[in-house]
Chains A and B, each alone.
Chain A
């Protein structure tokens, strides 16, 4: 074997040393470079995966939120429409009630006004009836206050 190795110019001792050296370097590299690097890469990969997972989760959440928002908006819109419709109905109902109330009040007021008018008319005519003779007499006194007229009147009244 030694001869064969010598024929190829290989010194087994050097070869052994080189092999040993190789494994030693390999071990050192593996131990101090590859393993931490691998660890770092693994961590990084994990982080990326986690990030991706979170992203996916976020996307899912966003979709869910969007869906929820849409549902809420739709519900809110429906609720708004319902409230508006109800408000419109209430408004119509209240307006109708108010119109009826105003109409009733108007009728009542008109009735009272008519009654008041009739009372005032009655009062006016009653006062007129009471005061007119007195007024008439005062006017007549002023108009006919003349001795000559009196004389003529007596003669007319007592003549044959």
Chain B
């Protein structure tokens, strides 16, 4: 939470071209011994950067490795959602295909999901 607040503050300062204040903020964090939250701030800034560009940051789960750019393109064409894959995880439990999770959507195009739809869920939930 703290990382998000500081991140938002950094973005505002950057918009106002107040780099020296950003440097002071980071210095202050160092002095307070909160260097560990810097990583979270950087992650948050990366996500915000993607969002500012009009994209949805997304996590991609795949049964087998596949080109994420290709997937981003296909998602854009099929759902008209502009996503940016920030993390790719291989999970063989999906059997085939994959799953995309953003802060707003879950797009499941895995074979496991297909099986779950075919087989009655109350009986056989995979």
Contacts and interface: CB of A to CB of B under 8 A. Distances in A.
Do A and B interact? yes
7 contacts: A136-B126, A140-B111, A141-B95, A151-B66, A153-B96, A157-B97, A158-B78
B97 A153 contact: yes
Interface stretch (B10-18, B21-29, B69-77): B69-77
A153 B96 CA distance: 7
The 4 A-B residue pairs with the shortest CB-CB distance in the complex, in nearest-first order: A157-B109, A158-B74, A150-B64, A153-B96
B77 A147 contact: no
A129 interface: yes
Interface of A: 129, 132-133, 136-137, 140-141, 144, 147, 149-151, 153-155, 157-160
B93 A158 contact: no
The binding surface of chain A is classed by DSSP as helix
Interface of B: 62-66, 71, 74-75, 77-78, 92-93, 95-98, 109, 111-112, 115, 119, 123-126
A144 B95 CA distance: 7
B66 A154 contact: yes
A38 B109 CA distance: 152
Nearest to B124: A133
Given A154-B66, A158-B109, A132 B124 contact: yes
Contact of B109 (A132, A140, A147, A154): A154
Given A137-B93, A154-B66, A158-B78, 16 more contacts: A133-B119, A133-B125, A140-B115, A141-B95, A144-B95, A144-B96, A150-B66, A150-B97, A154-B96, A154-B98, A157-B97, A157-B109, A158-B75, A159-B78, A160-B77, A160-B78
